[in-house]
Amino acid sequence: MSFEAIYNIAQAEAEGKAAVAAAEQQAKALIAEAESAGKASVEAAIAKAENELAELRVKAAEKEKAEAEKLAGELAVKKAVLLAKAEAKLDKAASLVVERIVNN
């Protein structure tokens, strides 16, 4: 084989190795970029989920408070009704006791 052919083969091998090294370097850069983008995407999704969770907790607390206030109002009305009934029965019971005492 001639010196020129050997030189061309060596040069082609060197160019091939350089191309492979460049491709490997580019692949590593792309992988690092993809991992960084993926990590940023996951972190953004986590932050969004945490914000949504905080909003849901606030809404749930507000709903719970409103329901408690509604229940308290309903109980206050029931208490007033029962108290009025009890007072009416108390007067009737007192009258009945007085009537029995007087008649005996």
Q: Is the pLDDT of residue 58 over 90?
A: yes
Q: What is the pLDDT of residue 6?
A: 85
Q: Is the pLDDT of residue 104 over 80?
A: no
Average pLDDT on 24-44 reads: 97
Which residues does 74 contact at the CB level (< 8 Å), separation at least 6?
none
pLDDT tier at 88 (50, 70, 90 boundaries)? confident
pTM: 0.55
Q: Which residue has the higher pLDDT, 96 or 38?
A: 38
